[in-house]
Amino acid sequence: MRTTKSYKLENPIKFKEQLFQWSRQAYEVAWLDSNNHYSEAGNFDTLLAINAFTAIKTDTYQAFDKFREYQETTKDWIFGYLSYDLKNDVEQLRSRNFDGLFFPELYFFQPQKIIQLNGNTAKFHYLRMVDDEMDADFEEILSLAERGETIEKRAEEIEIKQRISKESYLQKVENMLSHIQRGDIYEANFCQEFYAENCKIEPETVFAELNRISSPPFATFLKLEQHYLMCASPERYLKKTGNKIISQPIKGTARRSQNAAEDREIAKMLEIDPKEISENVMIVDLVRNDLSKIAQKGSVKVEELCKVHSFKQVHQLISSISAELEADIPAVEALRATFPMGSMTGAPKISAMKIIEELEETKRGLYSGAVGYFTPEGDFDFNVVIRSILYNKENQYLSFSVGGAITAKSNSEMEYEECLLKAKAMREALSASS
């Protein structure tokens, strides 16, 4: 179905920059960048997929059934996203909050052209209908490097507003704490939106800046019609390799310091912080429960619990939970059984999602959903869409949301400060690229 050809690269870093620039001409783009976090992301340095041969786009109604049929019929590489609100397909839930972005709930495409970067090798996987363009495309990308072209910046001040005032946010956290005290939930992820209206940006420029600031293992740029995602996610939702699946939830955040001794101390304090550990452990239990629905008996294992991982902007506590898939479980069913990811909902999961919907004021959509890909063999890898900017080019609406886990030990003022810390990279990227 695909022709594969490898090219040796003299300057892999330069080639990567020009490859991203070259992709701007494509109608559909999925750019996945591991930013040299090989151990975390695995499989590739960078993966680019462009120009749909086929695609699926749907609302929540029977979305996973339609997606499974598409994936099993296509049996090829497919790239795309699952929005958070597919919760309404998995459970009897609704989404009634304000939506300024109007993204489809699920969107995947089968690309005509895929380019995979590993070290000093570029591997082109083209459908046979376009495989005669490989050499010309490779030369065109190289010629961009020779001309030294750069992505243009557009100077325009962006006025960012908050959907929820600080006072309202603090009150809503107190409301959520009262749910916890009553025993309705143990933990819930509560998010707030920052947005800009009548806003013109160059999405590629913003993404390049956001990726430079954060350089996380699951960075993603999506361009699907008028819908854009600029994502600097540090978190994996779910990966399938053969029969093995692994989930790596993040719960627990602390700032970085430019002072090395202070930075080590901050990381050490995060590692032993009882509030942050309890957040993480609750979600680990939830993920174990989700995986047990589709796993071979006794195969669910916690491979790593509450380990500190350090990124450019923040320290995070990450756990890794793995399982062996039960025989005859279709790949898409592994996603359905665990969606939405526990780190963005809370525990118990359904109660948390209902309370989240009550207290939040913005429809999450792609935020706290997942972006990823399937291989022809049915393996997949998906991130969690956090630390991300979403943009509808047609109505010029820009949005980014941030949130955190609320537990019995939460302090509303400190939760608000954590939100501002998480929003910092997105604000910087928008400011630097305008």
Q: Would you please indicate which residues are annotated as catalytic (active-site) residues? A: 235, 251
Tokens representing 311 are 């990124």
Measured distance between the N- and C-terminal CA atoms of the chain, rounded to whole angstroms: 43
Amino acid present at 260: A
| Sequence-separated (6 or more) residues with CB below 8 Å from residue 137 | 22, 113, 124
Distances (CA, A) of 337 to 5, 234, 281, 386: 37, 23, 20, 21
What is the rounded CA–CA span in Å between residue 136 and residue 114? 15
The angle formed by the CA atoms of residues 235, 383 and 214, to the nearest 5 degrees, is 50
What is the rounded CA–CA span in Å between residue 222 and residue 234? 17
What is the rounded CA–CA span in Å between residue 79 and residue 256? 33
Beta bridge partners of 401: 193
